[in-house]
Amino acid sequence: MKKLNVLSQLWRYMKKARFSLAGAVIFALLSGGLSLLGPYYIGQAVDIIGQASWSKIAYYLIFLGIIYLLSAFFMYLMNICTNALAYKTTALMRKDCFFQLTRLPISYIDSHSRGDIYSRLTNDADTACEGMLQSISQLFSGIIVILGSFGFMLALSPVITLVVLLITPISFLIAYFITKHSRRRFREQAARTGELSGFAEEMLAGMPVVTAFGYNNEAIARFEKTNQELYECGQKAQFYSSLTNPTTRLVNNAAYVLVGVLGVFMALDGRMSVGLILSFLTYATQFAKPINEITGVISQLQSALAALERIFGLLGLEPEPDEAEKITVEPESIRGDIQFIHASFSYVPEKPLITDFSFHAKPGSMNAIVGPTGAGKTTLVNLLMRFYELNGGQILLDGTDIKDIKRESLRSCFAMVLQETWLFNGTIRENIAYGMPQASDEEIVQAAKAAYAHDFISRMPDGYNSIITEDGENLSQGEKQLLTIARAMLLKPPMLILDEATSSVDTRTEQKIQMAFKAAMEGRTSFVIAHRLSTIQDADVIIVMNKGDIVEYGSHDQLIKKKGFYYELYNSQFAPAENS
């Protein structure tokens, strides 16, 4: 992403904090303007010292004191405004990033490291904020000081001002050269930070598995490798950027010496007084100071630009297409007639997964989907919910192509219980009512009882008001699964999707849940993905999938009689137990 494009997008956000922006500019003008008066009056005071006019000297000292106090006060107000501007801008960007993530296709979340995404919302946003805090105040006050100092220098001595102007571009050229070569390093640093955050998040989330499989040493080695790469990138970035300030200061000091020498010669010729030389030297210092300060924080600026590139890169991604013209369906009017017509799909174009898939799920039917890992079972669910779009063919809901239905409306017709449970930090009541916040306490309790979760909830210290920690760490896997089942039962939608929904509960609880599911699925079209074939023997239709295609379908008894692929799957689970 080009730097100008990044800055233009940043400006678009900064304009939203217009009051802070206006305040920063106004107070910068006042502070900078007052500080520019100081050197001139210092020179005047020096010139009258020889006249022993103590009253005038006292006047100048008092006047200078007032000027610098007011300048400091306005500088304080400017810093307040720039802080507000930086934090407001960062908050707006972070808000838009999160909103953008809710609009991006599921494929983006599936194909990117969670830690890298978190890093853009947190680390990159904080880095951008820090860079803005450093640069905005320097920019606003620096422009005023540079222009004002140039004006005063030009009024005092056009000849010496010309010398300063001839030397100053050297500082800019040095800063530009170093900045150009260090920017790539800061991009690498930001990318490595995201990579390290992603790896750390994955390892911490799966620490029990990491420990159980003895992967600790390998995890440490991988972390150290990525951490070392981050260290090397950061070290090189800081090394290059740290060259800027010393070199520009060297050039400015040379200019300062040259100005002093020329001033002395002009004083000897009677063309400048000692006070004016002092004033000019002070203005020359002020003229160079903002340049030195900006080059001094060049590393923060480069880090901020790299972070902003990643943030705006996320914001620039194409969200799911607008569906304003598509139809809305009401769950109450849905019969649940689902048809797959010659459907085809692949996650990767060169690796077809589902090819020419056709199936009809009748309203109110229980449709089980079985097959080996990678057969395409969960993919069917992703396609039903439009998490992914078909490459070819159609999926019809009550005769309407689901592509013509708004995603949000389509998804409201389904309730899902997945093998991977997801709970958030909040009360049990809030987690059960996640898809139906307006549900009454009675409805929530009924859903929990139907899912056989009420007993363990009642045993908790605060019952339904008990707090679930992040991702339900204070619950067993089975208890978490029961809560997600209760969440689905509360919705009572026309269609259910159960993806290994009872995989984490014991056999006795599973039997109870199957009875509850049977009642919940009555009159509703349901799709049940299962590895335990004992849980789907009562299904109206069992779809047997392998390598993305239907190889068999029918009732349990019909498939057993065929002695085909399903028969082999069934015997692989039950034959050893029956023969023992």
pLDDT in tens, 383-407: 998 988 899 999 999 999 999 999 8
Structure-model confidence comparison of residues 387 and 130, the more confident one = 387
Strand partners, 427: 467
CB atoms closer than 10 angstroms to residue 76: 11
HSE-up (13 A, CA, CB side) for residue 311: 32
**Over the stretch 281-293, which tens digit does the pLDDT of each residue have?**
888 877 777 766 6
Average pLDDT on 245-272 reads: 77
pLDDT of residue 398: 92
Segment 533-559 mean pLDDT: 85
pLDDT averaged over every residue in the chain: 82
At residue 370, the 3 state secondary structure works out as: strand
Task: Give the C-alpha distances (Å, rounded to integers) separating 505 from 179, 244, 473, 511.
Answer: 59, 62, 16, 10
- pLDDT over 80 (residue 213): no
Q: Which of 163-172, 461-470, 480-489 has the lowest mean pLDDT?
A: 163-172
Distance CA 264, CA 342 (A): 92
- Predicted model pTM: 0.69
Confidence at residue 57, expressed as pLDDT on a 0 to 100 scale: 80
Residue 339 clears pLDDT 90, i.e. is over it: yes
pLDDT value of residue 55: 80
Mean pLDDT lowest for which of 6-15, 306-315, 367-376, 487-496? 367-376
Question: Which residues face 468 on adjacent strands?
Answer: 426
Cα dihedral value 195, 200, 205, 206, nearest 10: 100
Among 177-186, 377-386, 411-420, 423-432, name the one with the lowest average pLDDT.
177-186
Query: Which is more confident, 66 or 241?
Result: 66
The band of 577, judged by pLDDT with boundaries at 50, 70 and 90, is very low
Provide the percentage of residues in the chain whose pLDDT is more than 70.
Answer: 90
Euclidean distance between CA atoms 392 and 354, whole angstroms? 10
Reported residue count of the chain is 580
- Mean of the pLDDT values across residues 474-503? 82
- Provide the β-strand partners of residue 359: 340
State the SS3 of 24-58: HHHHHHHHHHHHHHHHHHHHHHHHHHCCCCHHHHH
Pick the more confident residue, 299 or 555.
Answer: 555
Output the DSSP codes for 73-132: HHHHHHHHHHHHHHHHHHHHHHHHHHHHHHHS-HHHHHHS-HHHHHHHHTHHHHHHHHHH
Residue 397, SS3 per DSSP: strand
pLDDT of 356 higher than 60: yes
Distant-in-sequence, close-in-space partners of 450: CB < 8 Å, separation ≥ 6: 486, 489, 516, 519, 520
Residue 220: the pLDDT is 84
3-state secondary structure of 239: helix
